Amino acid sequence: MKILITGAAGYIGSHTLKQFLETSHEIFVLDNLSKGSKKAIDALQNLRKFSFFEQDLCDFAGVKRLFKEYKFDAVVHFAASIEVFESTQNPLKYYLNNTANTSNLIQTCLENGTNKFIFSSTAAVYGEPQTQSVSETSPLQPINPYGRSKLMSEEVLRDASLANPSFKHCILRYFNVAGACMSYQIGQNYPKATLLTKVAAECAAGKREKMFIFGDDYATKDGTCIRDYIHVDDIASAHLSGLNYLQNAGESNVFNVGYGHGFSVKEVINTMKRVSGVDFSVEMANRRAGDPSVLIADNAKIKSFTEWKPRFDSLEMICKSAYEWELKG
């Protein structure tokens, strides 16, 4: 198949691109490099050559020209703005970049017979869950513009598939991605990263003077937020599993991608200190807007419907891979 991966220069996108390059599919990549890493693209070209288009999804006419020329069979769509706090300060950026651009991409697929669509969504669509873990049927009540922009994109996908039965989609709701590739020289290059494991690894590697815990008064075991941290390679493999599911006549569907258990902010920091041997500085700060206290996946559905099997379910392994990546950079 001819597969277009948008946002493949980014963190999750580059790790997924690496796994797709290990298949026989013909791969094309679109990224505007506003946050993604050209270094990751160049490194992965050494694995296997692929076509790279430095282009923005908001260039609707340019995107349509690409589809007409290359006639893609499937799209794996990552390109998006992803920072929860920023979304509360600049919501229109998220509705335009995430929802509007995704809607145009879906329309372009429909116009050109591209009938398989893998969508990078988020656990943020669940908002503040009322249960310890969330399934795909849990209430969808996002509490920030980032989550709402992704949920709106999900709804556009669902409506497009209902109106066009041959157009099949797979929505993947990620929980907290972390770590770096276990088998190749790629990791997270996102500038001014806010992901906890990345920030902690940068502190351990001496790239930051200190880090902050945003709130220790949540109703959790140690007062800090609890998240389902999943290794980026396991997130990446879920996209291949999702595409294989659709190839095998699977109907449009949505899957949580997480391990099904969580760790607190303090537990992650202490684990990073332990695996690195560095007692870096940590300070308390006020809560951030839009942060739910607990978010853990029920992953039974993806394991039942697809071939996905996580391989790196270990907080120590996640922290070690993140730390070792920072030492190389």
**What residues act catalytically?**
146
Reference 51, options 10, 109, 8; nearest CA is 8
**Whether the Cβ atoms of residue 327 and residue 205 lie closer than 8 Å to each other:** yes
Reference 161, options 204, 125, 114; nearest CA is 114
Query: How many residues are there in the chain?
Result: 329
64: how many CB neighbours lie within 10 A of its CB?
16
120: how many CB neighbours lie within 10 A of its CB?
26
Distance CA 157, CA 102 (A): 9
**Whether the Cβ atoms of residue 161 and residue 324 lie closer than 8 Å to each other:** no
Distance CA 319, CA 296 (A): 19
How many C-alpha atoms does 52 have within 13 Å on its Cβ side? 21
Which amino acid is it at 109?
C
Helix (H) or strand (E) holding 120: strand 116-122
User: Exposed/middle/buried for 190, CB within 10 Å: 0-12, 13-18, 19+?
Assistant: middle
Distance CA 98, CA 154 (A): 11
How many C-alpha atoms does 225 have within 13 Å on its Cβ side? 23
Show the CA angle centred on residue 140, arms to residues 156 and 57, nearest 5°.
35
Pull the structure tokens for residue 139: 């209430």
Distance CA 27, CA 77 (A): 13
